Copies of this chain bind each other. A is one copy, B any other.
Amino acid sequence: MAKGLTTREQDYSRWYTDVIAAARLADYAPVKGCMVIMPNGYAIWEKMQGALDTLFKDTGHENAYFPLFIPESFMKREAEHVEGFAPECAVVTHGGGKELEESLYVRPTSETIIWSMYKNWIQSYRDLPILINQWANVVRWEMRTRLFLRTTEFLWQEGHTAHATSEEAVQETLQMIEVYRQFAEEFMAMPVIVGLKSDKEKFAGAIQTYCIEAMMQDCKALQAGTSHFLGQNFAKAFDVTYQTEAGQREHVWATSWGVSTRLVGALIMTHSDDRGLVLPPKLAPLQAVVVPIWRGDDERAAILERVDQFTADWKGHFSFKIDDRDNYRPGWKFNEWEQRGVPVRIEIGPKDLESNQAVMVRRDTGEKQFIAQSELRDTIVQTLQTIQVDLFNRAVERRENNSHYLESYEEFKQMLDDQGGFFYVHWCGSRDCEDRLQAETKATIRAIPMNNPKEKGQCLLCGGNSEERVVIAKAY
């Protein structure tokens, strides 16, 4: 089975690319740092988009589309923002056969172009809030790339909202990080820590950045989504004011929030195994596959007729496919669907015609069960739900097993090297200690967890006072 797949233990990084190749999710593009999202990978992204788009619309957001190109002068309006992003940008200097008077940046994120438009759209408190999301491609020049996780061009959604008050904007920021948590846990079956970024790690131009952080199977952290409270920074940079009910002019308050195709990488690294891709049923483009087994044309006809019978009322309950290809053997088909991560496989051969049953195989556990054909549909529905829950629970268990509460820097460094994981440690809050941590261990402060219990302690690095623990890990 699964010939040729590197195992996680042999080489985690190669295992990851092997899983992607075997499932035909993505391929390397001829342009440095870029990827091609192949149909099997894009179908997962489409499922993610569908679920997220519904969550966004249910919370009152609308979609729109803003230009790919941002004039250089716009990028420079917000000081921290340009410092953070300009070095990563692709720059268009020629268009229509001529050199441009002003260079255009290919958007690395759209705050600047969007706030230049909000200036025209916002006059009075009546025009607020603006709750807009955009599905788009963005470009950030990357030297060390990895399929899905870090590519020069990637697909994402970016929400950009405008509010009359600081409180409302903070509320929106929190609402959207909660939407991301819900999506990660309920759809991706991926448990996440919700928290605040340190000033060093926050978005360039934000007052506060909230994040969701997940633990991958190699015990590294992956930032899976961020929601930023931007204060009035962009409103001031683009001079966006509104008239209050009392008739005064005030600057508008902003948020932005985004997740990207990086989530597909997170999904792969959370659930897949040495046989290939494992998908949570809610995001599996194909949820069940039926592989009929026959020898000769007579058996083939009889089996397929039976399959047609018992699958006749499956439509609308889950997505499925009957793999009736003649030019591949059953074992080859089993392997292919395993590598592609289809949650449930049904095998039915000539002997099952008389006994009126079939074999159901769970992709996540490999467990096999004989099921009466008349009960297949309901059993599959139930099993898909079970798999969704089990995947989440196993991921939680793995994370708990690899979370450590430590007080000693030496012990921390040892465990970080030996086994990795999430480390709940005290930190004094200083940038010096944060920089030193990263320089000495390559680990970073991933999040200051929300609803964090207050607990007095001493900074892991300098011994200074601390009021709460933060989460430290090596990260993607």
Q: Interface of A with B (CB < 8 Å)?
A: 27, 29-31, 34-39, 41-43, 45-46, 62-71, 74, 87-97, 103-104, 106, 113, 116-117, 120-121, 126, 132, 136-137, 139, 141-143, 152-153, 155, 327
Query: In the complex, are the beta carbons of A43 and B67 less than 8 A apart?
Result: no
Provide the residues of chain B in CB contact with A65, threshold 8 Å: 36-37, 42, 45, 155
Contact A93-B94, Cβ < 8 Å, known A31-B104, A64-B36, A67-B153: yes
Known contacts A63-B46, A92-B90: A27-B104 contact under CB 8 Å: no
Given A30-B113, A120-B27, A93–B93 Cβ distance below 8 Å?
A: yes
A62 to chain B: which residues have CB within 8 Å? Answer: 39, 42-43
* Assembled-state Cα–Cα distance A382/B69 (Å): 45
> What number of copies of this chain does the assembly contain?
2
Given the complex, which residues of B lie within 8 Å of A141, measured CB to CB?
A: 95-97
Give 9 new A-B contacts, CB below 8 A, not counting A27-B120, A30-B117. Answer: A31-B70, A31-B104, A37-B64, A39-B64, A39-B132, A43-B63, A69-B153, A96-B142, A97-B141
Q: Which residues of B contact A88 (CB under 8 A)?
A: 96
Asked if A69 contacts B90 (CB within 8 A), the reply is: yes
The 3 A-B residue pairs with the shortest CB-CB distance, nearest first, are: A96-B141, A39-B62, A34-B67
Are B31 and A327 neighbours in the complex by a CB distance under 8 Å? no
- In the bound complex, residues from chain B placing their C-beta under 8 Å from that of A38 are 64
Minimum CB–CB distance for A122 against chain B, Å: 13
B90, A94: Cβ atoms closer than 8 Å: yes
Please name all residues of chain B whose beta carbon is closer than 8 Å to the beta carbon of A116 when the two chains form the complex: 30
Q: Are A106 and B91 in contact (CB under 8 A)?
A: no
Instruction: Enumerate chain B residues within 8 angstroms of A327, measured Cβ to Cβ.
Output: 126
Contacts of A66 in B (CB 8 A): 29, 36
Give Cα A37–Cα B93 distance, bound, in whole angstroms: 25
Contacts of A63 in B (CB 8 A): 39, 42-43, 46
* Cβ-closest chain B residue relative to A37: B65
Q: Is the CB of A96 within 8 A of B143?
A: yes
Give, as a whole number of angstroms, the nearest-CB distance from A21 to chain B: 12
**B90 contacts A91, C-beta separation under 8 Å:** no
Q: Which of A45, A89, A94, A132 has the most CB of B within 10 A?
A: A94
- Distance, CA A372 to CA B136, complexed state (A): 46
- In the bound assembly, the distance between CA atoms of A63 and B42 in angstroms comes to 7
Give min CB distance, A370 to chain B, whole Å.
34
Q: How far is the CA of A68 from the CA of B71 in the complex (A)?
A: 19
Q: CA separation between A90 and B70, bound complex, in Å? A: 13
Most B CB atoms within 10 A — which of A39, A74, A88, A143? A39
Inter-chain contact B92/A64, CB cutoff 8 Å:
no
Complex CA–CA separation, A90 to B105 (angstroms): 11
For residue A86, which residue of chain B has the nearest CB? Answer: B97
**A371 → B minimal CB distance (Å):** 30
B95 contacts A92, CB within 8 Å?
no
Q: For residue A95, which residues in chain B have a CB less than 8 angstroms away from its CB?
A: 89-91, 141, 152
Q: Which residues of B contact A41 (CB under 8 A)?
A: 64
Contact B69 A31 (CB under 8 A): yes
CA distance A93 to B106 in the complex (A): 12
A37 / chain B contacts, CB cutoff of 8 Å? 64-65
Nearest-neighbor residue (CB-CB) of A93 within chain B = B93
Residues in B whose Cβ lies below 8 Å from that of A89: 95-96
Q: In the assembled complex, how far is the CB of residue A56 from the closest CB belonging to chain B, in whole angstroms? A: 12
Once A29-B113, A117-B27 are accepted as A-B contacts, the answer to whether A153 and B96 lie under 8 Å apart by CB is no
